Structure 1
Amino acid sequence: MNIDTRIKFRHLLCFLEVARQGSLARAADQMAVSQPAISKTLKELEDLLDASLFDRSKSGVSLTEAGLAFMRYAGPCVQALRDGVNSLREGEYAAGMVRLGVLSTVEGLLVPEVVRRLHERHPALVVSVLTGPSAYLLSQLRVGELDLVVGRMTESPEIQGLTFEHLYSESMTLVVRPDHPLLAQGREGRSLEGYPLVLPLAGTTIRKHADSLFVQSGISPPRQRLETLSLTLSRRYVMSSDAVWIAPMDAVRLDLRSGELAELDLGLQEPGGSVGICSNASLPLSLAAQWCVEVLRDAAADYREGRLP
């Protein structure tokens, strides 16, 4: 079957924006056009494909099975065309760009080192980093808005259909401020009950590993807790309170080494999960993204061997 030449670039852009926003009105705002124009363009595409791409409801729109199938190809197609245009331009595009989705588990240690090495090897390279929950980052990877996603995400349902490369395993640990009352007690007498807890957001991959520590300790999470993926907020709150932070080792390694935080030994051990690189196999990696993968592998090897700062 030949590709219908009536399918235009604007049809693909409209489809992807509606899928991204989950709303015709929000997609219209993002594309600076009227909602009727969005509806008309979307209907044209569905007529040309002879398929319904979205289910409509009062709360918005969601992709149909046909829409999900079409999105696997529409996103990479649009991004490939953008890359082709950019490769012919000079000036700001000549340097190349890699777009990384970064989970909180790696933004404190691994990724800064990766960016440093990338700029050392490729001085003109632009590295664009987007942080957030794995579900959001993987959805952006799927539609071609990101080149790679780095972090702990193997248990996220959104990873289905994407490619994952393991880099290293990372453990969880419990940390407190250096003069925390629990540090003066013997390990056998320590209990987390009565102290505020800092946890990853509910529903995230890393939260599942944090919750397993509660199962091991036989206690229920207290009502007083902070749930966040922000390392900056978590760090400052723990340093200024009696809170206990259940944190990925990558996020606190330097703080433990400098003495700004202290590890709380309760005789528990949670091995954590697999940290790695997720990519969209249906979209060929740009040269800049390939450079990034190489550096990620090198930095991860140093991490496993304990050679990172």
Structure 2
Amino acid sequence: MSIDNRIKFRHLQCFLEVARLGSLARAANRLAVSPPAVSKTLKELEDVLGTQLFARSKGGAELTAAGRDFQRYAGPCVQALREGVERLHDAEARTSSVRLGVLSTAEGGFLPEVVRRLHERHAALILSVVTGPSSYLLSQLRLGELDLVVGRMADSPDIQGLTFEHLYNEPLTLVVRAAHPLLDEPFDPSALARYPLVLPIAGTTIRKRIDSLFIEQGLHLPQRRLETLSLSLGRRYVDDSDALWVAPIDAVRMALASGELVELAPQLREAGGSVGICSNTTLPLSLSAERCQAVFREVGAEYRDGVYP
């Protein structure tokens, strides 16, 4: 038999106070409501249960046999709920930590927005972020040194045995600083060889996709290259030179909108790879890690809908 959803916490709280004090008036004073409100609440509960819980008299209110039976269960129920709320509040007050592995594809606007929301909602949360190639981060996740890994890694062979959850698709694009010499002439793929190129380090999942993209377009990687997973280094170098940068769209979205960076060849924009969260299901997640995972999903859903911070 299911519990009638008309029974509310206020019904149980009122019932228990009247049972404890033996008086509707004293219970009303304790609950900071009027005696008629207490009487109405008890009547609602008795109607739902289909039985009389109190024998009322001028001297007060005495539990009936049915009321005594109901008290045996209502009391522990309310106490368990109070203890559960207190435990959550205590957990919220205690400092907790989550260890995240983050690939460069998620460092642009996505991760800062996740962190902002987590710190806005939880008063005592430490997020420890480790960056690096997917092979390293996934190995740390497998060992239990990280709670979650986020980024573009679905094609990595190191993901075998771990659980990947898709969040959104993240394209790569070729960008240059505003006023770059190549912007003054029609795009000629052969001209790319004249300038340095910034791209992820060899052997990473995202670099393999870039190599394939260049082959598909009949392009050759220039001999002058800066290979790095650092978005800040890539951005600074491109700002201060004529270098080209193959970057995740999310990392350059604001700079493109402001005109500080320009897409050199929109037709070369990659279709987009899956950015997601990876977890090790053989190791249970802490409550804080589960909360972090939930916010990843929340922001990921917004990204899928085209909503960006």
Category of TM-score, reference length = shorter chain: 0.5 to 0.7
Secondary structure, in 3 states, of the residue corresponding to 2:171?
Answer: strand
- 2:187 aligned with 1:195: no
CA contact (8 A) 1:95 1:124 kept: yes
Secondary structure, in 3 states, of the residue corresponding to 2:281?
Answer: coil
Which residue is equivalent to 2:273? 273
Aligned-residue CA RMSD in angstroms? 2.0
Which residue is equivalent to 1:205? 205
- 2:157 aligned with 1:157: yes
Cα drift, residue 268 of structure 1: 2.1
Letter in 1 for 2:137: L
| Cα deviations by residue, 1:184-228 (Å, 9 ceiling, x for unpaired) | 112357731211111101000110121123113312111111100
Q: Distance in 2 between matches of 1:235 and 1:189?
A: 22
Secondary structure, in 3 states, of the residue corresponding to 1:167?
Answer: strand
Letter in 2 for 1:250: D
Which residue is equivalent to 1:184? 184
1:34-113 equivalences in 2 (<5 Å): 94-113=94-113
TM-score, normalised by the number of residues in structure 2: 0.68
1:1-309 equivalences in 2 (<5 Å): 94-187=94-187, 191-265=191-265, 267-309=267-309
| Cα deviations by residue, 1:79-113 (Å, 9 ceiling, x for unpaired) | xxxxxxxx9xx999922111110001111211000
Q: Distance in 2 between matches of 1:284 and 1:269?
A: 39
Q: Distance in 1 between matches of 2:266 and 2:301?
A: 30
CA contact (8 A) 1:188 1:266 kept: no
CA contact (8 A) 1:213 1:269 kept: no
Distance 1:112 1:266, change over 3 A: closer
Secondary structure, in 3 states, of the residue corresponding to 1:267?
Answer: helix
Cα drift, residue 127 of structure 1: 1.1
CA contact (8 A) 2:102 2:132 kept: yes
User: Unmatched 5+ residue regions in structure 2?
Assistant: 1-86
Q: Distance in 2 between matches of 1:199 and 1:227?
A: 5
| Cα deviations by residue, 1:140-165 (Å, 9 ceiling, x for unpaired) | 11111110000001121211110000
Secondary structure, in 3 states, of the residue corresponding to 2:253?
Answer: helix
CA contact (8 A) 2:174 2:265 kept: yes
Secondary structure, in 3 states, of the residue corresponding to 1:176?
Answer: strand
Highest Rg: 1 or 2?
2
CA contact (8 A) 2:93 2:123 kept: no
Secondary structure, in 3 states, of the residue corresponding to 1:220?
Answer: coil
Q: Distance in 2 between matches of 1:223 and 1:163?
A: 38
Taking every aligned residue pair, what percent have the same amino acid on both sides?
65
CA contact (8 A) 2:174 2:268 kept: no
Letter in 1 for 2:247: A
Q: Distance in 1 between matches of 2:188 and 2:247?
A: 21
CA contact (8 A) 2:109 2:251 kept: yes
Secondary structure, in 3 states, of the residue corresponding to 1:150?
Answer: strand
Q: Distance in 2 between matches of 1:284 and 1:189?
A: 50
Letter in 2 for 1:102: V
CA contact (8 A) 1:96 1:125 kept: yes
CA contact (8 A) 2:176 2:245 kept: yes
Which residue is equivalent to 1:32? none
Q: Distance in 1 between matches of 2:155 and 2:203?
A: 10
CA contact (8 A) 1:216 1:268 kept: no
Letter in 2 for 1:154: A
User: Unmatched 5+ residue regions in structure 1?
Assistant: 1-86
Secondary structure, in 3 states, of the residue corresponding to 1:222?
Answer: coil
Letter in 2 for 1:177: R
TM-score, normalised by the number of residues in structure 1: 0.68
Q: Distance in 1 between matches of 2:187 and 2:108?
A: 29
Count, aligned residues: 221
Q: Distance in 2 between matches of 1:221 and 1:266?
A: 18
Distance 1:91 1:281, change over 3 A: closer
| Cα deviations by residue, 1:252-293 (Å, 9 ceiling, x for unpaired) | 111111222111116323113110000001001110011011
Q: Distance in 2 between matches of 1:198 and 1:115?
A: 27
Q: Distance in 1 between matches of 2:171 and 2:137?
A: 22
